[in-house]
Structure 1
Amino acid sequence: MNQQQKALYSYIKASKYEPSSFIAAAIIDNAKVGNIIIAEKLYSQLIRVRDIDIDLLIHVRKLVDRSRQKYKVMNEYLHDSIPKISVIVPFYNRKDKILGCINSVLNQSFGDIEIIAVDDGSTDGGNEILLEITDPRLVIIRNEKASGNSGAPRNIALKIARGEYIAFVDSDDCVELNYFSELYQCIVKNNADIAFSKWFKKINYQNGRREESKIYYKYIDRVRYINYDSFFINSFVIWDKIYRRELFHNNLIYLSESKIGADTLMIAKTYYYAKNVCMCDNKSAYKYFAFSHNSVSQLHRKNTGNLIEEDRPYREVFLWIDKFNISKDY
C-alpha cells in the first residue's frame, strides 16, 4: 500500500468510525502526502470533538500548516474549509456574560468566521451554556485547571486557529453588527498585516449608572526616528484590531503567561514585525466594558504587593529589544 492509498484508507476509516484517534491519524496521513483539502476538512471535524486533547490539536494544526507551505496550497482552494477570521474568546467564570459576548460575534453581518472559546477552568457552569449552542462555527476548548492568566488560553487558541486573520474579543465585551465586516474589508483592501479600529465604545458603571463614551485613537502612518521608521498609534490593547495569522506564526509571536499585561510583549512584536498596517474608518464599534468585575487582571490589580506582576510585561519587552538588537528608537 503506497502513501496515497494509506491516506485514502485512513480518511474512509475516519469518516466511518469517527473516534478522535482515527480522525487525527487520517489528518496526519493526508497532510503528509499533500491532500490538504481533505486534511482541513477532517480538522474541522476533529476540533469539534468534546474533551479533545489540546496537545493533539496543536500538533495536528502545526503539521497541516507545514504541509500547506510545503505543497504551496493556496487559500482559494481551501475556501470551503478555512474561515476568513478566527475570533478568540478566552473566559473564566463568566456565566453571566459569555453568552452575550459569543452571540454578538455569531450574529455579525460577516459570517465567514470561527469562534474559538477557551474555557480556562471555569467553575460556574459557563461552559455548559455554550455547549447548548449548535452553530458549527463555535469551537469550545476547556482547560480543566485554571491558568490564572489571560495569555495561556489565548495561546492555545492561536495554535489551533485556522483563519486567514485573527481577532480577539474579551468575554465580558461584545461587538456591534458590522464590526468584523468593516475591519476585514479594510485589511484585504490594503493588503495589511494589521487593521486598526479607529475608535471603540468604553462602557462604565458609576453608582449604578451606565456611562458610555467614544474613544478615538491618534494614528500617524509614518514617523521618522533617528534610526527607525514606523507608524504611531496610541493603542496598546489586543482587541481593537484584526491581524494576519501569518504575522503570529512567521514571527513566533504569542502572549506572555503573566497575571497582568499578558498582551504587552505581543503588541510590541506585532507592531514591529508588521510590514503594512491600516486604519479602518469603522462605523460599528467594539464595546469595551471597563474594569469588569472578576476579570483576571483586575483581581490581581486589586491585591496589594503586585508591583512585580505590573512590571513583568515591560521587563519582557526590554529583554526582547536587547536580545534581538531592536532599534532603541522603536
Structure 2
Amino acid sequence: MNPNLAKYKISVIIPVYNTEKYIERCIKSILNQTHKNIEIILVDDGSTDNSGEICDFFKNEDSRIIVIHKQNGGAASARNSGLEIASGDYVAFVDSDDWLAEDMYAHLLECCVIQNAEIASMRYFITKEPNAVLPSTKLNIRKYTNDRIYYYLKCSFNAKELELSTCNKLYKRSLFNQLRFPSYQLSEDAYINFLLISKINTLVVSNKYGYFYFKNDASITHTKLTVKSFDLLLVCDQIIDSCRKMDDTSILDLAIAFRCKNCLSLLIRMINSDFDYEESYSKLSDYIAENLTLIMKSPMTRAQKWCCMLLTKSKRLFELAVRCTYQAYKKYR
C-alpha cells in the first residue's frame, strides 16, 4: 500500500439488523483491511437476536469500533445515524451479511487520491458460498468528469461496470455534509448515488472486484412483491425530475427509459405473484406504451425491448410469455 495514503481516515458504516450468523465475518473483513486508518461504526438497528451483543464484543476488542444501539428504522435510518458521528476523510457503507477483500479500501482510496476524485467504485461479486474467491480481472480504471451523470444512468441498465449500490464505493465524507439517505425502505441507493454523482467533479470506476455480496436464504424474501416494492418508481420519478432541470435530452431520455425498465420488472413480478395488481398493472403498462419509441433507442436489452413491444400489442400474450418463462426458470434453475 502507498504509505502516503495512511494519513487518510475512512469511516465504515454498517447497519446491523438480525444478522448474528454473518456479522462476525463482516467485521473481521474490515478489521483485516490493509488500510488500517479506519473507524467502524456498527449501528444496531433494533436487532432482536444476538447481533447487538456481538457488536459490543468487538467494540471491546478493538478501539476503532463504535457501536450505536437504536430503535429499528431501516437501513437508511441506520446509515444516517452513522453519518452523524463519522469523523473520517472518506466514508463507506457495508451490509452486515457481506464482506470485503482485504485490499478493497486501499484500492479505492488510491483511486480517489491519485485521480482527485470524490467517489471511487469497484465491482462486487454475488455469491451464496461463504468461502467464495473473487474473480481476477485485468485492471482497468476509468475517470469520468463531464460525462459522469450520463455514464451512471447508462450503467443503471447493465450494472456490470458501475453497480448502483453504495456498498462498493468510497465517498469523500464532505459530500454528506448537507445530504442524508432518503427514508425509503427500498431502492434508496440508486437515488443517493445519482444526487452525489450530480454534485461531484470526478468519478473513478475500477473493474477490480473487492466486495462480496452474500445472497443468503433470507435474501429471497426481499424479492417478494409488496407495496414497498413500488418505492423504486418514486426513486425513478425523482431522478427524472432532477434530469429535467439539467436541460440535456440525452440524460432525460435515459432516466425515463430507466423508469420503463423498472415498470417492466414490476409487471413481471406482479404476474408471478399473488399481488392484487390490476390498477397498478394498467398504469405501468400505459407508461411503457407511451415511451415505446424511446425504449427502442435505449440501452435496454433485446429481451426487455421485446417484452415491452409484446405488452403493447397483447396483454394476454405478454402474461403467457412471462408465466412460461418463469415456469421454465423454476424447473431448470
Question: TM tier, shorter chain?
Answer: 0.5 to 0.7
Distance in 1 of aligned mates of 2:95 and 2:140: 23
1:102 is the counterpart of 2:30: no
**Pairing 1:1-330 to 2, within 5 Å after superposition:** 84-133=9-58, 134-143=61-70, 145-147=71-73, 149-197=74-122, 199-204=123-128, 214=135, 221=143, 230-232=150-152, 233=155, 234=159, 235-249=163-177, 252-280=178-206, 282=208, 285-290=210-215, 292-294=216-218, 299-321=221-243, 327-330=248-251
> What whole-Å deviation, never above 9, does each CA across 1:133-178 have from its counterpart, x for those lacking one?
22011111111x211x321111111122111111111111000111
Which TM-score applies when normalising by structure 2?
A: 0.62
> Which structure carries more helix by proportion?
2
Distance in 2 of aligned mates of 1:187 and 1:224: 17
Matched length: 235
Q: Can you give the 5+ residue segments of structure 1 that lack an aligned partner in the other structure?
A: 1-75
Please tell me the residue identity of whatever aligns with 2:38.
I
Contact 2:141-2:207 at 8 Å conserved across structures: no
Q: Secondary structure at the match of 1:254?
A: coil
Distance in 2 of aligned mates of 1:307 and 1:281: 30
Distance in 2 of aligned mates of 1:289 and 1:245: 26
**Misfit runs of 4+, over 6 Å:** 209-213, 215-220
Distance in 1 of aligned mates of 2:205 and 2:226: 38
Contact 1:202-1:215 at 8 Å conserved across structures: no
> Which structure carries more strand by proportion?
1
Pairwise CA distance, 1:310: 3.6
Contact 1:223-1:231 at 8 Å conserved across structures: no
Pairwise CA distance, 1:109: 1.2
Distance in 2 of aligned mates of 1:219 and 1:177: 19
Please tell me the residue identity of whatever aligns with 1:238.
T
Contact 1:114-1:137 at 8 Å conserved across structures: yes
Distance in 2 of aligned mates of 1:163 and 1:285: 20
CA spacing shift, 1:320–1:300, aligned 2, 3 Å? farther
Percent of pairs with identical residues: 28
Q: Secondary structure at the match of 2:205?
A: strand
Q: Can you give the 5+ residue segments of structure 2 that lack an aligned partner in the other structure?
A: 252-333
Q: Secondary structure at the match of 2:27?
A: helix
Pairwise CA distance, 1:93: 0.3
Contact 1:202-1:212 at 8 Å conserved across structures: no
Which TM-score applies when normalising by structure 1?
A: 0.62
